[in-house]
Amino acid sequence: MEQKKSDFSRGSVAKNILSLAIPMTVAQLTVVLYNMVDRAFIGHIEDVGKDAFTGMGLVMPITYIITAFANLSGMGGAPLFSIARGRGDDKQAGRIMGNAFVYLIVLGVLQMAVYYLFLDPILYLVGGSPDTVPYAREYALIYLGGTIPVMISLGMNPFINAQGFGKTGMMTVVLGAVINLVLDPIFIFTFDMGVQGAAWATVIAQVVSAAWVVVFLAGRRAVVRLERRSLGFSLPIIGKISGLGLTGFTFSVTNSIVQSVGNALLQSYGGAKMGDLYVGAMTAITSVREIIYQPIRGLTQGAQPVMGYNYGAGQYSRVRQCIRFVTWSTLLCSAVTWMAVLIFPEFWVLIFNDDPALLEVGTVTMRIYFAAFVMMGFQNIGQNTFVALGRAKEAVFFSLFRKVILVVPLMFLLPRLWNLGAYGVFAAEPVSDIVGGLASYCTMMLTVGRAMKQPDRLPE
């Protein structure tokens, strides 16, 4: 019965995608929600809330890097896992999953060592000031202790979704979110632990989520189990996982780079008086972006296992159906969330802090930053289709193209034009949304779209 459940070559393509996309979106929104709650509670700590909230913006590049390495293994391994299953090779699928698990642990240990050794220099490098770094340090020292559980919960959950257990994958993060939401106010306010309390709540939640993932994948319900005999560190397999996972990796790494460069430039243009205020506004904007981006991410990533399975099974007409469905549904979602931010920017800023100066700056900069957000849908459709079909080079290129080739140079260039100053840093995002989104989608349609017009392969 479970085997039939995870056979994506049958039934409605839209239903198969939504059966994964809806739980994934709920799960991802839940993760973002409890990250937001962390920042919102911190932002409303009496007397120090604004500086503490800005300090969280300094930790965000570190969390993006941790997520990047989890994506390298999870988002690289899961599509290969799906393609192997579509070909009927469950043994190879198990080896891919086992190698991905070991890879995650190795990457987690290495990251912890680097961050603990160089934490303070990193925090100042990404735009910290003497007023904000102490809060960032308090949070990061505790958060980094949970790096391996974070890696496991983020990196192995795609293997649950790839087997068709969307609701179980959703529970991975819902479970952690509920624990975090309950512990946050208790630790921060009742026990008066402040920023450290938020960090402890997050770590405990991630430990529980990681345990949930491992227990399920090693249990009887899994179609392909995580077994001791499948664990390993095969360089050919790790190489393939890394090659395909570079898309998710570069997406998170480039987010970290953009956040770091943006914070540093905002400190520079804002000076002693406005620097922390601009960084605080960027922290609020990035937090809001995480929320409104999740429906897009959920739809495009929910389509990946369905595309990959049908591609492996030679059902190319169903791959074309996947592309058409995910295009229209993603653009609709991105348009709705886009308008919600442009019309009500004050609402989103007030979630984190009610300081009048931050509200004024945040409202203006949010409208600039999200001016062309609807075009992000095209970027995600193109990139995730490349990933689903194992076309790593194209996926990685467009991830780098948008963030590294477009956004970072524009952050340096636009502030010098028309006296934009700090506002030019925020304006780099909509320009890259338009150019990067259209380039990614059009290339995908001209390459993948044509390749999928070949006749379906008959079942053996």
pLDDT in tens, 109-153: 999 999 999 999 988 887 777 777 888 898 899 999 989 998 998
CA-wise closest residue to 58 among 181, 195, 194:
195
Q: Is the pLDDT of residue 23 over 80?
A: no
Phi then psi for 341, rounded to 5 degrees?
A: -80, -45
Distances, alpha carbon 336 to alpha carbons 95, 329, 333, 340, 428, in Å? 41, 11, 5, 6, 22
pLDDT in tens, 437-453: 899 888 888 887 777 77
Average pLDDT over residues 168-188: 83
CA–CA dist 202, 60 (Å, integer): 14
68 contacts 252 by C-beta, under 8 angstroms: yes
Q: What's the confidence (pLDDT) of residue 47?
A: 62
Distances, alpha carbon 349 to alpha carbons 40, 278, 324, in Å? 10, 13, 35
CA–CA dist 313, 421 (Å, integer): 53
CA–CA dist 66, 100 (Å, integer): 15
Distances, alpha carbon 67 to alpha carbons 70, 74, 152, in Å? 5, 10, 10
Q: Is the pLDDT of residue 9 over 80?
A: no
pLDDT in tens, 198-216: 889 889 988 998 999 999 9
CA angle 384, 387, 390 (to 5 degrees): 155
129 CB-near residues (< 8 Å, 6+ apart): 267, 275, 276
Q: What's the confidence (pLDDT) of residue 117?
A: 93
CA–CA dist 341, 359 (Å, integer): 14
CA–CA dist 215, 264 (Å, integer): 42
H or E stretch including 154? helix 147-161
Q: Which range has the worst mean pLDDT, 63-67, 327-331, 370-374, 447-451?
A: 447-451
Q: What is the mean pLDDT of the chain?
A: 82
CA-wise closest residue to 149 among 64, 206, 73:
206
pLDDT in tens, 279-307: 888 888 887 887 788 788 888 877 887 88
Among 207-211, 243-247, 314-318, which range has the highest average pLDDT?
A: 207-211
The single-letter code of the amino acid at 358 is L
pLDDT in tens, 364-396: 888 998 888 888 888 888 888 887 777 777 877
Q: Where are the alpha helices (DSSP H) in 44-143?
A: 49-86, 90-125, 133-143
pLDDT greater at residue 98 or residue 47? 98
CA-wise closest residue to 160 among 109, 101, 205:
101
Q: What's the confidence (pLDDT) of residue 46?
A: 65
Q: What's the confidence (pLDDT) of residue 2?
A: 45
Q: What's the confidence (pLDDT) of residue 103?
A: 93
Average pLDDT over residues 87-114: 90
- SS3 state of residue 129: coil
CA–CA dist 443, 433 (Å, integer): 15
- Determine if residue 4 is left, alpha or beta; phi over 0 gives left, psi from -120 to 50 gives alpha, anything else beta: alpha
199 contacts 138 by C-beta, under 8 angstroms: yes
135 contacts 55 by C-beta, under 8 angstroms: yes
303 contacts 17 by C-beta, under 8 angstroms: yes
Q: What's the confidence (pLDDT) of residue 272?
A: 59
117 CB-near residues (< 8 Å, 6+ apart): none
The single-letter code of the amino acid at 121 is P
Q: What percent of the chain has pLDDT over 70?
A: 91
- Name residue, tokens 């998710």: 248
Q: What's the confidence (pLDDT) of residue 212?
A: 92
Q: What's the confidence (pLDDT) of residue 50?
A: 65
Q: Is the Cα dihedral 336, 339, 343, 344 positive or negative?
A: positive
308 contacts 82 by C-beta, under 8 angstroms: yes
Q: What's the confidence (pLDDT) of residue 49?
A: 63
Q: What's the confidence (pLDDT) of residue 51?
A: 74
